[in-house]
Amino acid sequence: MTLFTPWSAFWLLLALVPVLLALYLLRLRRARQVVPCADLWMEAAEDIQANVPFQRLRLSLLLLLQVLALLLVGLAVAQPRFESAAGRGGRTVLLIDRSASMKARDGSDGRSRFEEALEMAEGAVDRLHPGGWFADSGGSTMIVSLGASAEIEQPFTSSRRALLEAIRRLTPADTRGRLSEGLAMARAWASQPDPDNPRELGEPARIELFTDGGLVDRDEVVTRGDPLVVHLVGRRDTPNRSVQSVVAERLPDDPDEVQVFASIVNWSSSPAEATVQMSIDGTPVHIEDVTLPAGRGEVGADFKPGVRDLVFTSFDRPEEVLVEVSLLNPDALVADDADWCVVPPTGDVRIGVYGPDPKLMVRAMKSLGRTSVRSADTADGQAVQFGDHQVMVLAGMAPDLLPETPTLSFDAPLPSKHLRWTPRRDSDSVIPGSVRHPVLRGGPPGSLWVSNPQGVEVTGVAEVLLEGVGGPLVVAWEEAGHRRIHVAFDPARSTWPWDQSFVTFLVDAIDWLARRGEAGGIEPPDAGDVVTVPLPPAVTRITATSPGGRQHVLQVPEGRGSTQLGPLEEAGPWLVVWDGAEGGHQLIAAHLPSEDEGQLLRTADTRIGGVQVSVGTGVGRPVPLWPWAIAASLGVLLIEWGVYTRRLVR
C-alpha cells in the first residue's frame, strides 16, 4: 500500500486532533444535582472545582471514537492505494508499441493487444500521477510511441490530463515495431528535458515498455543499464495465418496477359485450413480452399512457418489492374489476411537520355521498341532540368545528386554511396562468369574489350554483373528507392556494340529498371516506408487517399518533378491523384510486413539486447482505498452518535 499525499494528512491531523482534545479539556461537565440536605453542598462545590479547565484528561469512549474518525479522515486525505509496480517520483518514459501485431485480438473479452497496452499505460499514469485533492506526483512523465519510427506523443510533463489525452490519441499502425530509436530518444530527453533550461544530469529515467514482445530489433538494441520494465500483452500461443506476398507479372509472350502468384503462411505448429480469394479491381474472380502445412522448429527465432505457394489462372487485362489476395477465414490478426499488388498498363517506357553527345544512345534506345525517348544535350554546360521519365539514361554525364528516377549510367562518376571511384585503367577485358541477374537474362557477352574504363570499388548492396581483369565493369544496385545500373566505360570505345548481347543487355536493363511487367512502377513499399512519386514538372498539388479513405493534400514545388509520400502507416492500396493539363494518378500498394508482424507466437524470454529485464505484473490500475476510509469514518461517527444518545437517555 502506498500513501500519495501523506503530508497533507499529517498537517490536517496536526490541526484537528489538538482542537478535539482541547474541547474535552475545556468542557465543563455540569449536571443538576438533587440533595436531601445542605450538608451535601460541599460535595457539589468539589465537583465544580473538578471542572476547572486544563485538568487531567479523562478517558472517554466518545473521545476515542471521535479521534478514530479523524484518523480515518486523515487516511482518506493521504490517498492510500494498492499498487503492483514501482511508485512515483523522478522521470519516467512510457514506450508504447503500436506495430501491426498489436492489432491481434487475443485478449480478454476480445480486446486487442493494443487496447490492453493502452489500459496498462493509463494505469501507469494513474500510479505516477494520481490526481486528487492535494495530490503532487513529484515527477514528470514522457510518452513515446513505437512503430517504423519513434514519435514523441507527449514531452515530459506532470499533467495527468495531458498524459491521458496523449495515450487516448494513439492508434495502431500496419508497420513494424522498432525499439532502438525510442530508447535513444528517451535517453536524450531524459538527460535534458528542457533545452532552454539546461541542468546537471541526474539519475537515469525509468523506462516502462508496453509491448507484445514482437519488436524486430529487440535483440540488437543496447540497454546501457537503463532502468527498464517490460509490460507484456497478448497470449504467447496465438496461431495466425497471413498472406505474405502477392506478385503479378505480364507474360513476356503476351503483355496483355497477367499471371498472379501468392504465398500464404501458417504461423502455427499444426496444419491449418484456409479459404483464399483473388479479386481484380475489387471484384472476386477466384476462390479456393487450401491446406497450409505446419510450421517447424521451436517458437522463437528458429521457428519456420508453413508456406503454401499459389499460382492463379492468368487473365487478360491490358490496362492498369489492382490485384488483391485475401483469406476469408478471419483469425486473431485480421490486418495481415490480405495483400495487394498493382500491375501497370501495357505501353511504352518513357526514357530520358542526357549527356554531352547523346545521339548514339538515343538511337540505341529507340531501336529497342516499346519506348518513348526524349533527350537533352548537356555539352553547353547549362543546367538541365530532368523531366518526367520512367528511366533516365546518363551518357557520360554525372549529376550532383542521384536522380529520383531509375538510372542507367555510362562512363561517369555517379554520386553513389555504394561506389568508390579509383583511377582509370588503360584497357580491360571481361572475365567469363555465371552471374544470374535479370539484366543478363539474354546472356553475358562472350568476349569484351574496353578502352580506358573507370576504376570503381563496390561497397554496400551493389552487385557486380560483369567483372573485368582490373575491376568491375557493370554494376547493379538499389539506392534512394530506385534501381541503378552503371557501366564503367563508354560502349563506343569497346567491342560491345558489335556483340548481339549489347542489344539484349539494353532491353533487359530497361525492363528491370522500369519494372516492366512487374507489379507496379516503383518498389512495392512496406507499411511505414516513405515513397517517391514521380510527377510531371508542372504539377504543384497532389491528393493521396489512404486505404481507409482519409485524404492527404500535399503541395509540390513547381518544376520539382516528384514528391515524397509517407510514411505510409496503412497497408493496402493508396491512390495519388494530380490535376492540371498533365493530370494523372498513381496506385501504390503498401505491404504489411507479415514476415515480421505475422508471428504472434512468443517465447517466455524477456531479454532486451541480451539482457534480462524486469517484467511488470498486473494489467489493472492501482486500487484507491480512500473511499473505504471515508466509509469507515462515517461508520465510526454513527457508532459515536449511538453511544452519545444512549447516555442522554440514561
Least confident span in 80-94, 224-238, 543-557:
80-94
Least confident span in 279-283, 439-443, 549-553:
439-443
Tell me what the pLDDT averaged over the chain comes to.
Answer: 82
Q: How far apart are CA 212 and CA 215, in angstroms?
A: 8
- Looking at the structure, do residues 302 and 162 belong to the same domain, yes or no? no
- Looking at the structure, do residues 479 and 362 belong to the same domain, yes or no? yes
pLDDT confidence of residue 301: 64
Which of 465, 481, 514 terminates a domain? The answer is 514
Question: Is 267 within the bounds of a domain?
Answer: yes
Question: Is 522 within the bounds of a domain?
Answer: no
pLDDT range class, residue 138, cuts 50, 70, 90: low
The pTM of the full predicted model, rounded to 2 decimals, is 0.68
Query: Residue 75 CB: number of other CB atoms within 10 A?
Result: 21
Question: Is 14 within the bounds of a domain?
Answer: yes
pLDDT confidence of residue 75: 73
pLDDT confidence of residue 297: 84
- Looking at the structure, do residues 166 and 216 belong to the same domain, yes or no? yes
The closest alpha carbon to 215, from 264, 182, 166, 189, belongs to 182
pLDDT confidence of residue 645: 78
Question: Is 344 within the bounds of a domain?
Answer: no
State yes or no: pLDDT of 161 exceeds 50: yes
- Percent above pLDDT 90 for the chain: 37
- Looking at the structure, do residues 247 and 226 belong to the same domain, yes or no? no
- Looking at the structure, do residues 380 and 498 belong to the same domain, yes or no? yes
Residue 461 and residue 478 in contact, taking contact as beta carbons nearer than 8 Å: yes
- Looking at the structure, do residues 216 and 279 belong to the same domain, yes or no? no
pLDDT range class, residue 5, cuts 50, 70, 90: low
Condensed to tens digits (0 to 9), the pLDDT of residues 9-29 reads 667 667 777 776 666 666 655
Question: Is 271 within the bounds of a domain?
Answer: yes
Question: Is 570 within the bounds of a domain?
Answer: yes
Tell me how long the chain is: 650
Q: What is the mean pLDDT of residues 313-336?
A: 92
Least confident span in 81-95, 226-240, 439-453, 543-557:
81-95
Query: Residue 348 CB: number of other CB atoms within 10 A?
Result: 12
Tell me the sheet residues that pair with 262. Answer: 246, 310
- Looking at the structure, do residues 256 and 124 belong to the same domain, yes or no? no
Query: Is pLDDT larger for residue 386 or for residue 137?
Result: 386
Least confident span in 7-11, 53-57, 123-127:
53-57
pLDDT range class, residue 255, cuts 50, 70, 90: confident
State yes or no: pLDDT of 619 exceeds 50: no
Condensed to tens digits (0 to 9), the pLDDT of residues 274-308 reads 999 999 999 999 999 999 999 998 876 678 999 99
| Three-class SS state of 629 | helix
- Looking at the structure, do residues 197 and 314 belong to the same domain, yes or no? no
pLDDT range class, residue 473, cuts 50, 70, 90: very high
pLDDT confidence of residue 520: 43
Distances (CA, A) of 583 to 350, 573, 586, 587, 606: 16, 19, 11, 14, 53
Residue range(s) defining the domain that contains residue 95: 90-236+603-621
- Looking at the structure, do residues 440 and 540 belong to the same domain, yes or no? no
How many folded domains does the chain comprise? 5
- Looking at the structure, do residues 124 and 209 belong to the same domain, yes or no? yes
Condensed to tens digits (0 to 9), the pLDDT of residues 188-223 reads 876 655 555 555 455 678 889 999 988 888 888 877
> Which three three-digit cell numbers place residue 122?
493509463
Question: Is 343 within the bounds of a domain?
Answer: no
pLDDT confidence of residue 453: 94
pLDDT confidence of residue 253: 74
State yes or no: pLDDT of 85 exceeds 50: no
- Looking at the structure, do residues 413 and 505 belong to the same domain, yes or no? yes
- Looking at the structure, do residues 166 and 57 belong to the same domain, yes or no? no
Question: Is 520 within the bounds of a domain?
Answer: no
Condensed to tens digits (0 to 9), the pLDDT of residues 387-416 reads 668 899 999 888 888 888 899 999 999 899
